[in-house]
Chain A
Amino acid sequence: MLDYPTLKLIWWLLVGVLLVGFAIMDGHDMGVGTLLPFVGKNDVERRVVINTVGPHWDGNQVWFITAGGAIFAAWPLVYATAFSGFYWAMLIVLWALFFRPVGFDYRSKIANPTWRSTWDWGLFVGGAVPPLIFGVAFGNLFQGVPFQFDDHLVSTYTGSFWGLLNPFALLCGIVSTAMITFHGAIYLTHRTEGEIQRRTRRATLIFGSLLLVTFSLAGFWLWQGIAGYAISSPIDPAALPNPLGKTVLRESGAWLANYGKYPASIALPMLAYLGTLSAMLLATKGRTLAAFVASSLAIVGVIGTAGVSLFPFVMPSSTDLRSSLTVWDSVSSQLTLNIMLWATLIFMPLIIIYTGWAYKVMAGKVTAAYIRENEHAAY
């Protein structure tokens, strides 16, 4: 069995991998949902757009479910504190997600235009709202979340839902939505042709630029305007997790301290810029698959930047600094982390292989002719 500090670090990385996997895979479906009412001007066009993700959205959504399950298993305190603290935000995400399975599966089963257009907007909500809320949640992590633990580690959240919607958090929400919509647009340029492709190519330019601007703004704000967190007591990474066993202070600029400490980590924000720019360029030149790889790398960059800036914090507390949750003191037992690592090492490669096969089977452009031929079977 690996030693405890190593396992704690590996699980910080793995949670990151799962979140990135979620953003790349489920993210492009959500981006497609967000763009659906705008790039599809009539019913056939909308069916083309929906069917680019039709065979895959369900498998991709499991990235989300698995990331949730992995946080439950590896960081139970984070799962418990975040989900209950962000109660209404989480329910809004959940209720927005409700529109997706039924939207995809039920939309084209009845020909009534009102029925279909209702589900199209449902897919829009299911695509646009979750990334927005996740971005807002990240924005709040940087500012600290008002929660605290008692002696028995019962957490109490003292903020309100509306308090989450502050300017910096909303900016982060736009970063996240722009990123996901951009990625979905890139995917659509790969899977469509003609007029729809032309429209989505324009969307890549709009949302790519929006991503670059808001990402830069958020970085500047984080540097100048938000006091970061730092652990001020000695850290024993091998200790049994106890979030109340440390002291924490706030100081301005602390969120950027890791880039000084580990200069190599500057590669992550660079990747966000380079990935976005090259994805925009490649999509314009028609090299759509390469563009998809580039926008996926941009996602690695953006989420990686957020993770490295926060490290070792996961969920800082604004009302009781020592209650802040970090990678060292909010984790599961060594045995559970070890078992979960093995489970991930065994199943993740298999998942990637059969998901790849599924995409290979369904590869190629989705066209209006395809929809006509599969009138009864397609979404």
Chain B
Amino acid sequence: MLSEQLVDLSRLQFAVTALYHFLFVPLTIGMTWILVIMESVYLLTGKTIYQDMTRFWGKLFGINFALGVTTGITMEFQFGTNWAYYSHYVGDIFGAPLAIEGLMAFFLESTFIGLFFFGWDRLSRKQHLLVTLLMAIGTNLSALWILIANGWMQNPVGAEFSYVTMRMEMVDFWAVVFNPDAQAKFVHTVSAGYVTGAMFVLSISSWYLLRGRDIEFARKSFSIAAAFGFASICSVIVLGDESGYTVGGAQQTKLAAMEAMWETEPAPAGFNLIAIPNEKAMKNDFAIEIPWVMGLLGTRSLDRQIPGIKEIKEKNRERIINGMHAVVALDALRRNPDDAAMKTQFAAHQADLGFGLLLRKYVSNFDLVSPEIIQKAVDDTIPRVAPMFWSFRLMVGFGFLMLALFGAALWSSVKGNCLGKPWLQRWALWMLPIPWLSCELGWFVAEYGRQPWTIYGVLPTHLSVSTLSVGSLYGSLAGFVGFYTVLLIVEMYLMQKFAKQGPGSLGTGRYANEAAHA
């Protein structure tokens, strides 16, 4: 059996590298469209200031992009290096969107980002805008394909297990592509990226306005960011991830955990605004509930019930007991593929195979399964409630805070009086880290909430890892943390240097701080 420590370290390494990668991705996704907007205005009006805006914000975008690329390669390596059994078991399905992401999206994005930076003097204005647009499309398509892959981990549709090849195999590619879970995730995640890009431009522009520097440049940037940000934050909230939460068991479990909903309540269920979840007693020690809201958000209806944690656990218990028979039959079939009795037994219980595999965390020989072990496996099927509950609330709270800011910023842009409102600029400046925090919290809710599975209902996390030594994991984790810390310091240094210097760093002679360029 695989050691707990190996599994935990593998998870930690993936979490650290994924969360780190996701510091750079949302800004890239959002900035590409902001650059498209700025450059479109340049093409339409012919005013040089819009070209300067595209180039300056593009420069900051480039500093961020470099680390996005650097840390992105890690992610592709890591499925193979640290999650070898996962890669074998689901590569037939999971690998395809990753490869298509490369072919359809990364090539487009990465080829045209080169021309975006180097092509200003060699392309016509229209050609250059086309380049910027293709770069943005490429970036967004890459988000689509990776979220199709991720959506399949939450809701594994269009695939079947084969005991001959000992893996999941694709049976319906279009079901994987049009997985409702993936589509909901895509809209939610790219919108969150747009908000991040908008906040970045809004905050830094506000800083110039507070300093009274490059006013025209900053005011125009502020307005574009305010409008784009307002539209995007509305999209994040209205087309939120919640729409995906009615699909599939993983999302139902997450929903129950992040709402601390222990019991199945009559529809429409109430929403716990604040609660103190008690995992042991499986109840909330204290809760402020708003009636109806949960049912409306979760099911978009008044009459559909949302299952509570206790109900989900009881269903999972049945599936685990069922799944035991599937695992026993699978073991026999791996030794003798022609065993007819075992084939029948496997076919009867195959749907719950993944649940049976949950027991492998505790026993390899299923003769030793006891009610206590089954209870442990049942308890494993629900992620810890308190971290889910609070991460989700923090993320939603930040969302509404950003809605208020972008609303106020857009209003003042429309009225043309953002210059006279230092409080608004200060507010925008202090909000700078908020979209990043929200994105990371969202990632946490989605992926921590999927535990104990890598593929919900199919493959438990503890079986997915590579058979490496614990020492190797400590070594690689230390290497990543060290490398990433240095890179982050370098990146932040450059980012603040060029953000502080402002458009003067373009060396055009039209802005303040020209001489500051070293």
- Interface residues of A, Cβ cutoff 8 Å to B: 54-59, 61-62, 64-66, 68-70, 72-74, 76-77, 79-84, 87-88, 90-91, 94-95, 97-98, 100-102, 104-106, 109-112, 151-157, 240-242, 332-333, 335-336, 339-340, 343-344, 347-348, 351, 354-355, 358, 361-362, 375-378
Within the assembled complex, what's the spacing in Å between the Cα atoms of A59 and B65?
13
Within the assembled complex, what's the spacing in Å between the Cα atoms of A372 and B334?
68
Chain B's closest residue to A361 (CB) is B122
Contact status of A152 and B115, CB under 8 A, knowing A76-B91, A343-B100: no
Within the assembled complex, what's the spacing in Å between the Cα atoms of A58 and B335?
48
Q: How far is the CB of B11 from chain A (nearest CB, A)?
A: 16
Quick check: A83 and B80 within 8 Å, CB to CB?
Answer: yes
CB neighbours (8 Å) of B3 from chain A are: none
Q: How far is the CB of A378 from chain B (nearest CB, A)?
A: 8
| Interface check B123, CB cutoff 8 A | yes
CB neighbours (8 Å) of A69 from chain B are: 76, 95, 98-102
Within the assembled complex, what's the spacing in Å between the Cα atoms of A297 and B166?
40
CB neighbours (8 Å) of A344 from chain B are: 103
CB neighbours (8 Å) of A111 from chain B are: 518
Interface Cβ pair total, 8 Å cutoff: 253
Q: Which 7 A-B pairs have the closest CB atoms?
A: A76-B91, A83-B80, A73-B95, A66-B102, A59-B111, A55-B114, A69-B99
* 26 chain-A/chain-B pairs, Cβ below 8 angstroms: A57-B114, A59-B113, A62-B102, A65-B102, A68-B76, A68-B77, A69-B76, A69-B100, A80-B84, A80-B88, A80-B91, A82-B80, A84-B81, A87-B472, A94-B77, A101-B66, A106-B63, A109-B63, A151-B331, A240-B164, A242-B164, A332-B169, A335-B170, A336-B93, A347-B100, A377-B55
Partner of A65, one of B70, B76, B100, B506: B76
Quick check: B77 and A66 within 8 Å, CB to CB?
Answer: no
Quick check: B169 and A333 within 8 Å, CB to CB?
Answer: yes
Quick check: B507 and A376 within 8 Å, CB to CB?
Answer: yes
Known: A66-B103, A76-B92. 18 other contacts (CB 8 A): A55-B115, A59-B110, A68-B76, A69-B101, A70-B99, A76-B88, A79-B79, A83-B79, A87-B468, A98-B73, A151-B335, A332-B92, A332-B95, A333-B169, A343-B104, A347-B103, A376-B506, A377-B118
Quick check: B114 and A358 within 8 Å, CB to CB?
Answer: yes
**B157-216 at interface with A (beta carbon < 8 Å):** 162, 164-167, 169-171, 173
Q: How far is the CB of A48 from chain B (nearest CB, A)?
A: 14
Quick check: A343 and B103 within 8 Å, CB to CB?
Answer: yes
| Interface check B119, CB cutoff 8 A | yes
CB neighbours (8 Å) of A77 from chain B are: 88, 91
Quick check: A336 and B96 within 8 Å, CB to CB?
Answer: yes
| Interface check B369, CB cutoff 8 A | no
Within the assembled complex, what's the spacing in Å between the Cα atoms of A375 and B506?
9
Quick check: B98 and A84 within 8 Å, CB to CB?
Answer: no
CB neighbours (8 Å) of B331 from chain A are: 151
CB neighbours (8 Å) of A355 from chain B are: 107, 111
Q: With a 10 A CB-CB cut-off, give which of A56, A59, A155, A378 has the most chain B CB atoms.
A: A59
Binary CB contact string for chain B from 108 to 134 against chain A (1 if under 8 A, 0 otherwise): 101111110111101100000000001
Quick check: A333 and B92 within 8 Å, CB to CB?
Answer: yes
CB neighbours (8 Å) of B73 from chain A are: 64-65, 94, 97-98
| Interface check B505, CB cutoff 8 A | yes
Q: With a 10 A CB-CB cut-off, give which of A54, A98, A361, A375 has the most chain B CB atoms.
A: A98
Quick check: A358 and B479 within 8 Å, CB to CB?
Answer: no
Chain B's closest residue to A347 (CB) is B103
Quick check: A62 and B110 within 8 Å, CB to CB?
Answer: yes
Chain A's closest residue to B86 (CB) is A80
| Interface check B498, CB cutoff 8 A | yes
Quick check: B518 and A72 within 8 Å, CB to CB?
Answer: no
CB neighbours (8 Å) of A66 from chain B are: 99, 102-103, 106-107
Within the assembled complex, what's the spacing in Å between the Cα atoms of A52 and B251?
49
Binary CB contact string for chain B from 413 to 432 against chain A (1 if under 8 A, 0 otherwise): 00000000000000000000
| Interface check B466, CB cutoff 8 A | yes
Q: How far is the CB of A18 from chain B (nearest CB, A)?
A: 9
Chain A's closest residue to B101 (CB) is A69
Quick check: A58 and B91 within 8 Å, CB to CB?
Answer: no
CB neighbours (8 Å) of B491 from chain A are: 102
| Interface check B513, CB cutoff 8 A | no
Chain B's closest residue to A65 (CB) is B102
Chain B's closest residue to A338 (CB) is B173
Q: How far is the CB of A315 from chain B (nearest CB, A)?
A: 12
Contact status of A109 and B498, CB under 8 A, knowing A66-B103, A95-B483, A358-B114: yes
Contact status of A61 and B84, CB under 8 A, knowing A240-B164, A361-B115, A361-B119: no
Quick check: B84 and A81 within 8 Å, CB to CB?
Answer: yes
